[in-house]
């Protein structure tokens, strides 16, 4: 046993194996041992599209979107665009019949540019600008999730000026800790989102929205966190939300019918993760919610969920090219092999940001060696520039090899930076349509387009020109 | 005493005061109470250039660059471009007579595009590509810092093919813990950078470089971490490095003369930080290094440092516009005021990434209220989207106010993302030349330029076209 490895990680019997719980079904090794993704070898994809490279199995994405719709039949299912959004992705979501969540005016603009039906769009956000609210009302989107008191006034004023009625949900915090990392836990009270149920602010907000002449209040929304692996926290949050709906009915005589439980459904990044999957999530949640609804004496509810990562993550991976392999002797006498690749925290900051765990495999060939404890690091000038903290790779890993990291598109591309002037890798979809670009690779010219030439004198910006 | 505030934070006697240890000297409040930066009011700058906005006091940057050169007279001082680099910045560094460190081919390209003299450029990086090494040798840069064995072979081969000699330093890890956050501590052994002194690998690497016909080995380089607030760790690292230089002399009869101590000099983000400043750093380091050099029987050394944040950080700040103010009752009966602004972890991920602390003040006016414990958060769909964890702001803070966060350009713009399709704010320099753009604001059109239109069919990329 390697004392430098975390407890959950054990040396694999076969370092070339692909755990089906982690890898997309379309990924396998060919006769030569090379990784094949939806019919395309890793080498072929990197040759055509460059390295590093994000890949998304388009058919996997579409199947998971439809899978959620089937598992949660009768519920409203919307894809959370913040996980990964582009015009192509918006089309896939549309064609799967799901709704789409956007968190900003620009996400809304991307969706509309893709022709996504505005009526199936929900606008989220704790601090929507007047411009964003106006764009959403003008679209008009299907609903806006109201997050604070100022926003009630702003939406009412904008809607009144346009003689429109706006569908709204009220974002509430049920005070449920989803047992996840602090930075992605969103339902405890001490946070920026929503109205607390416990303090009474949530009921107040519902009553205010109910009284606004240009608002159609349909129900409540909550979100308990990310990478959640059971249904208990959802069920408890739903119970508190249903009690709130009952309190609103008692106060007004009106029953609100929509209960949106948000997203946060966990996916498997490593063998230590055991996600429920859509079917078991639905089977676990529906009866508990139904029992609570009946106990509260409420009529039928329109339930809703918003998976993001659970749709776009499992079919995604990132390919990197190895540049440097450096064995480091550790204090305990073991060795850690640092495998430095041509990307890093610029294209996937999740490891540094959330202490997220990933796994990785050699992609251009099988290894013929024993497993060696490795750490996949990037090329940035920072020691925290780590992609995969702990993974067993074949000890023969060498410069020029390709390494694949499963799940490394969801939130990774969304959070990607240009640290050290790195350009964002391309995103390529693979599947029945073949391999095609979803987002092209950024270039140095793109970065320099923002960089004002000190030789030129025309550098007096105006807010209008800039905005 | 507010039990929800951290121990280091106390309610200020004057919530409008500007601590001179934290704010640039050019920042003050005018008669109306508004923040003035190098002669420009916060409102004027936001009106002209938009919000959020990064500001850099150009004169402060230039003065700090010259200040390091003066304090470390006789040393080589290079600005670490990774902290913040653009063509304008490269010019300022050049005009101050400093060297410039780059960590990637693209940073090198920016420096060369600004006309920076290549002989004063140093190329860093744990995994430089062949393309990057070739560009550096072609420039030719003043020196390359060698980080691994593969790189010795690569540089020698590239240099030999061009019949050039390349100046190199060897990056070593002295095994010194700089008492800083794990993610930005780079001199302990279990990390991706350099050759360990302790294991003997560093001496091996020096001997290899010394034996390469197309390498001119000048010395060693180390970097102990970031936000370091004393000289002890530098002094200990220097002692180990000097012992290594002595071991190399004993093995070869040759004395290497360059000792580069890297960067990491801390700056004050909050009242809890007490940086030494260039003068005290130099005064603290020079005699210790000289004593070690004499004890080792070495001749005169060429010493070098690489400040980045310490030059670009203290003269910088970010301006945001408040959108939502939300008081949250905490379990202990106190209240935390969440102040949501129009930026967030997209334009400054340091708070989320490093648990970094910042402070903030109202910028468009003075407050007439008592201090209230506040948290400045962004507008992203994530509860960890925090800019300033804990700060006292006037309790009258309200939507439409401007908030200024000092120091919030260094590494913030370098690490900025497009999360939720946020566009990167403009960077504006203020100073004697007036206010002028350094980096223009990104636009939605910039983001859509990467987003392949599903309506078009020309989406088969090639690596060449993309790269």
Which pLDDT tens digit goes with each residue over A327-385? 998 878 889 999 999 999 999 999 999 999 999 999 999 999 999 999 999 999 999 99
Tell me what the pLDDT averaged over chain B comes to.
Answer: 94
Q: Which of A185, A352, A461 lies nearest to residue B383, judging by beta carbons?
A: A185
pLDDT of residue A459: 46
Q: Report CA-CA distances (Å) from A3 to A88, A335, B23, B118, B231.
A: 45, 10, 47, 46, 34
Nearest-angstrom CA–CA distance, A312 and A310: 6
Closest to B318 (Cα-Cα) out of B198, B410, B195? B410
pLDDT in tens, B199-252: 999 999 999 999 999 999 999 999 998 998 889 899 999 999 999 999 999 999
Q: Report CA-CA distances (Å) from B358 to A366, B229, B338, B402.
A: 48, 16, 15, 16
Under 8 Å CB pairs connecting chains A and B tally to 324
| Residue B436 with chain A: CB contacts under 8 Å | 452, 459-460
pLDDT at A270 over 50: yes
Overall size of chain A counted in residues: 467
Where do the DSSP E strands lie in A42-182? 53-57, 76-80, 99-102, 121-123, 143-146, 166-173
CB within 8 A of A464, min separation 6: which ones?
A: none
pLDDT of residue B67: 97
Nearest-angstrom CA–CA distance, B369 and B274: 29
Contact yes or no for A342 and B127 at CB 8 A: yes
The percent of residues in chain A predicted with pLDDT above 70, rounded, is 95
Using the structure block, give the residue that is written with the tokens 């040393």: B75
pLDDT at A3 over 90: no
Q: Which of B82, B182, B379 lies nearest to residue A381, judging by beta carbons?
A: B82
CB within 8 A of B61, min separation 6: which ones?
A: B89, B92, B311, B312, B315
Q: Does B5 reach chain A within 8 Å, measured CB to CB?
A: no
Start-to-end CA distance of chain B, whole Å, equals 57
Nearest-angstrom CA–CA distance, B230 and B236: 11
pLDDT of residue A197: 94
Nearest-angstrom CA–CA distance, B324 and A191: 13
The percent of residues in chain B predicted with pLDDT above 90, rounded, is 89
Enumerate residues 72 to 91 of chain B having a beta carbon within 8 A of any beta carbon in chain A: 82, 85-88, 91
Q: Does A449 reach chain B within 8 Å, measured CB to CB?
A: yes
CB within 8 A of A375, min separation 6: which ones?
A: A336, A337, A338, A339, A386, A388, A389, A390, A391, B192
Q: Does B8 reach chain A within 8 Å, measured CB to CB?
A: no
Query: What order do you get walking across the sheet with A35-37 strand by strand?
Result: A27-29, A35-37, A40-41
Nearest-angstrom CA–CA distance, B167 and B137: 10
The percent of residues in chain A predicted with pLDDT above 90, rounded, is 89
Q: Determine whether B209 is an active site residue.
A: no
Q: Which of A48, A86, A451 lies nearest to residue B110, judging by beta carbons?
A: A451
| Residue B453 with chain A: CB contacts under 8 Å | 87
Nearest-angstrom CA–CA distance, A69 and A383: 43
| Residue B85 with chain A: CB contacts under 8 Å | 421
Contact yes or no for A328 and B196 at CB 8 A: yes
pLDDT in tens, B369-382: 999 999 999 999 99
Contact yes or no for A340 and B426 at CB 8 A: no
Q: Does B462 reach chain A within 8 Å, measured CB to CB?
A: yes
Q: Over range B67-77, report the average pLDDT.
A: 97
Q: How many helices (H) and strands (E) does chain A have?
A: 13, 21
| Residue A466 with chain B: CB contacts under 8 Å | 49-50, 426, 440-441
Q: Does A104 reach chain B within 8 Å, measured CB to CB?
A: yes
Using the structure block, give the residue that is written with the tokens 């930075």: A183
pLDDT of residue A467: 32
Using the structure block, give the residue that is written with the tokens 């690779």: A441
Contact yes or no for A352 and B440 at CB 8 A: no
pLDDT at A458 over 60: no
Enumerate residues 38 to 57 of chain B having a beta carbon within 8 A of any beta carbon in chain A: 46-51
Query: Which of these ranges, A174-183, B247-256, B264-273, has the smallest mean pLDDT?
Result: A174-183
Residues forming a β-bridge with A79: A100
pLDDT in tens, B137-155: 999 999 999 999 999 999 9
The chain B residue lying nearest A354, using CA atoms, is: B353
Q: What is the Cα gyration radius of chain A?
A: 24
CB A306 within 8 A of CB A397: no
Nearest-angstrom CA–CA distance, A336 and A389: 10
Q: Which of A422, A441, A463 lies nearest to residue B104, judging by beta carbons?
A: A422
pLDDT at B359 over 90: yes
| Residue A185 with chain B: CB contacts under 8 Å | 383
pLDDT in tens, B292-349: 999 999 999 999 999 999 999 999 999 999 999 999 988 788 899 999 999 999 999 9
Closest to A179 (Cα-Cα) out of A282, A266, A308? A266
pLDDT in tens, A302-322: 999 999 999 999 999 999 999
CB A406 within 8 A of CB A22: yes
| Residue B420 with chain A: CB contacts under 8 Å | 82, 103-104, 106-107, 414
pLDDT of residue A332: 82
The shortest C-alpha distance from B432 to chain A (Å) reads: 14
Q: Mutate which of B62, B113, B192 to disrupt the A interface (most A C-beta within 10 Å)?
A: B192
pLDDT in tens, A420-443: 999 999 999 999 889 999 999 999
Q: Does A347 reach chain B within 8 Å, measured CB to CB?
A: no
pLDDT at B2 over 60: no
Overall size of chain B counted in residues: 467
In A1-99, which ranges are continuous DSSP H helix? 42-49, 58-71, 87-95
Q: Over range B189-193, report the average pLDDT.
A: 90
Q: Report CA-CA distances (Å) from A233 to A422, B13, B307.
A: 39, 44, 48
Nearest-angstrom CA–CA distance, A178 and A184: 9
**Given pLDDT bands bounded at 50, 70 and 90, which one contains residue B90?**
very high
- Element housing A202 (H / E): helix A201-211
In terms of Cβ atoms closer than 10 Å to its own Cβ (0-12, 13-18, 19+), residue B467 is: middle
Q: Does B433 reach chain A within 8 Å, measured CB to CB?
A: no
Nearest-angstrom CA–CA distance, A161 and A175: 36
Where do the DSSP E strands lie in B15-67? 27-29, 35-37, 40-41, 53-57
Half-sphere exposure of B250 toward its Cβ, with a 13 Å CA cutoff? 9
The shortest C-alpha distance from B364 to chain A (Å) reads: 17
pLDDT at B448 over 90: yes
**Given pLDDT bands bounded at 50, 70 and 90, which one contains residue A178?**
confident
**Given pLDDT bands bounded at 50, 70 and 90, which one contains residue B183?**
low
The shortest C-alpha distance from A26 to chain B (Å) reads: 21
| Residue B414 with chain A: CB contacts under 8 Å | 417-420
| Residue A78 with chain B: CB contacts under 8 Å | none
Of B455 and A38, more confident: A38
Q: Does A466 reach chain B within 8 Å, measured CB to CB?
A: yes
Nearest-angstrom CA–CA distance, A38 and A59: 9
**Given pLDDT bands bounded at 50, 70 and 90, which one contains residue A466?**
very low
pLDDT at A460 over 70: no
The shortest C-alpha distance from B141 to chain A (Å) reads: 17
Contact yes or no for A326 and B192 at CB 8 A: yes
Q: Over range B93-120, report the average pLDDT.
A: 98
Q: Mutate which of B110, B383, B400, B434 to disrupt the A interface (most A C-beta within 10 Å)?
A: B383
Q: How many helices (H) and strands (E) does chain B have?
A: 13, 21
Q: Does A295 reach chain B within 8 Å, measured CB to CB?
A: no
Q: Report CA-CA distances (Å) from A356 to A272, A375, B111, B127.
A: 12, 13, 34, 23
Q: Mutate which of B450, B460, B462 to disrupt the A interface (most A C-beta within 10 Å)?
A: B450
Q: Token digits for A453? A: 């030439």
Q: Mutate which of A205, A466, A467 to disrupt the B interface (most B C-beta within 10 Å)?
A: A466
Where do the DSSP E strands lie in A174-298? 195-196, 215-221, 258-260
Nearest-angstrom CA–CA distance, B410 and B82: 9
């Amino acid at each position: 046993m390697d004392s430098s490895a975390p407890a959950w990680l054990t040396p694999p019997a076969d370092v070339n194996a692909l755990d089906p719980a982690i890898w997309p079904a379309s990924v396998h090794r060919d006769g030569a041992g090379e990784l094949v993704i939806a019919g395309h070898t890793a080498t072929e994809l990197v040759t055509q599209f460059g390295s590093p490279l994000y890949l998304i199995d388009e058919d996997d994405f579409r199947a998971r979107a439809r899978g959620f719709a089937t598992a949660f039949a009768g519920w409203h299912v919307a894809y959370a665009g913040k996980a990964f959004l582009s015009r192509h992705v918006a089309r896939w979501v549309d064609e799967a019949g799901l709704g789409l969540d956007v968190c900003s005016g620009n996400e809304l603009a991307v969706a509309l540019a893709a022709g996504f039906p505005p009526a199936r769009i929900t606008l989220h956000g704790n601090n929507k600008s007047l411009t964003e609210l106006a764009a959403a009302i003008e679209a008009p989107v299907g609903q806006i999730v109201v997050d604070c008191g100022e926003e009630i006034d702003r939406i009412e004023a904008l809607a009144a000026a346009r003689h429109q009625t706006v569908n709204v949900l009220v974002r509430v915090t049920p005070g449920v800790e989803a047992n996840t990392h602090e930075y992605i836990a969103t339902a405890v009270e001490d946070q920026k989102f929503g109205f607390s149920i416990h303090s009474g602010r949530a009921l107040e907000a519902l009553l205010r929205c109910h009284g606004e002449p240009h608002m159609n209040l349909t129900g409540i929304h909550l979100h308990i966190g990310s990478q959640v692996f059971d249904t208990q926290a959802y069920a408890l949050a739903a119970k508190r939300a249903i009690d709130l709906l009952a309190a609103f009915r008692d106060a007004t005589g009106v029953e609100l019918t929509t209960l949106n439980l948000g997203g946060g459904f966990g996916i498997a990044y490593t063998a230590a993760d055991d996600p429920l999957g859509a079917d078991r999530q639905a089977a676990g949640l529906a009866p508990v919610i139904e029992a609570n609804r009946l106990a509260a004496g409420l009529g039928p509810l329109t339930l809703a969920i918003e998976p993001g990562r659970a749709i776009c993550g499992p079919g995604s991976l990132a390919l990197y090219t190895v540049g440097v392999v450096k064995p480091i002797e550790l204090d305990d006498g073991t060795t850690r092999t640092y495998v430095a690749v041509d990307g890093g925290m610029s294209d996937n900051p999740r490891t540094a940001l959330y202490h997220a765990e990933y796994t990785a495999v050699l992609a251009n060939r099988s290894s013929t060696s024993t497993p060696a404890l490795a750490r996949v690091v990037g090329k940035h000038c920072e020691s925290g520039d780590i992609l995969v903290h702990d993974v067993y790779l074949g000890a023969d890993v060498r410069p020029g090899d390709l390494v694949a990291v499963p799940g490394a598109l969801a939130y990774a591309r969304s959070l990607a930076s240009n640290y050290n002037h790195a350009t964002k890798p391309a995103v390529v979809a693979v599947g029945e349509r073949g391999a095609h670009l979803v987002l092209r690779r950024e270039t140095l010219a793109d970065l320099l387009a923002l960089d004002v030439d000190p030789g030129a004198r025309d550098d007096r910006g105006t807010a209008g020109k800039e905005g």
